[in-house]
Amino acid sequence: MTQMSISNKSLFISFEGIDGCGKSTQVKMLMNRFESDGIDSLLVREPGGTQISEEIREVLLKNRNENMAERTEALLMTASRAQLTHDVIIPSLDSGLIVIADRFKDSTLAYQGGGRGLDINYLLQLNDFATFELDPDITFFIDVTADEGHRRLNSKNPDRIEGAGKIFQEKVREQYLKLARIYPDRFIVLDGEKTAEEIHQIIRLEIKTIREK
């Protein structure tokens, strides 16, 4: 396959993990790699990514909103996702771009499902409604323990969800591991204790494999 025909094929990649897993570093490394290889790609982050979604993000993450009901949280996360999917992700994939999502629907299943304990079946439906049933082609789950994630976050000012505590993050992680078993075709579990460069190399290899399929 030539470089040209490879780069015209759209691909939807998502990154997932608990807070402090090193996801942002990997997203950045991958974007830089695509850029130096001359491959058109677009990065989106959740919650957020459009003006409306960024406004929803503020409501979601403000520490002042500590009494937000769990269902409100789930609805706002998926509302932000609906706008982003409609305005940005679907049109970009349609035009042949590679889209990298720093979190997508699995975050809702892990955080609001595993972490907050909401019914997964409702969340699956909400997610499908919000995304026109779009799923990532490949999902990189960077796995660290809640202890490790907490340690790495220590220097930062935690937002409302990061501040939910270690036991919460442990439940989120457990749910991610369950999702990896439910969706083995698209989930790649990466050991977040490896070096950033080692993780990046595995990610590159997986993407190369899927693009050549």
- Contacting residues toward ligand TYD, per CB under 6 A: 19, 24, 45-47, 61, 77, 102-103, 107-108, 111-112, 159, 161-162
In the bound complex, what is the minimum distance in angstroms from residue 201's beta carbon to ligand TYD? Answer: 22
CB closer to ligand TYD, 85 vs 108: 108
CB closer to ligand TYD, 41 vs 107: 107
Rounded to a whole number of angstroms, the CA Rg of the chain reads 17
In the bound complex, what is the minimum distance in angstroms from residue 111's beta carbon to ligand TYD? Answer: 3
What is the C-alpha separation between 81 and 38, in angstroms, rounded? 28
CB closer to ligand TYD, 77 vs 99: 77
CB closer to ligand TYD, 76 vs 189: 76
Q: Answer yes or no: are the C-beta atoms of 109 and 120 closer than 8 Å.
A: yes
Residue nearest to ligand TYD (CB): 111
Q: Answer yes or no: are the C-beta atoms of 98 and 142 closer than 8 Å.
A: no
What is the C-alpha separation between 136 and 99, in angstroms, rounded? 9
CB closer to ligand TYD, 138 vs 149: 149
Tokens of 90: 């679907």
CA atoms within 13 A on the CB side of 41: 26
What is the C-alpha separation between 196 and 211, in angstroms, rounded? 22
In the bound complex, what is the minimum distance in angstroms from residue 74's beta carbon to ligand TYD? Answer: 8
Which among 103, 125, 72, 122 is positioned nearest to 172, based on CA atoms? Answer: 103
Q: Answer yes or no: are the C-beta atoms of 103 and 60 closer than 8 Å.
A: no
In the bound complex, what is the minimum distance in angstroms from residue 3's beta carbon to ligand TYD? Answer: 32
In the bound complex, what is the minimum distance in angstroms from residue 196's beta carbon to ligand TYD? Answer: 15
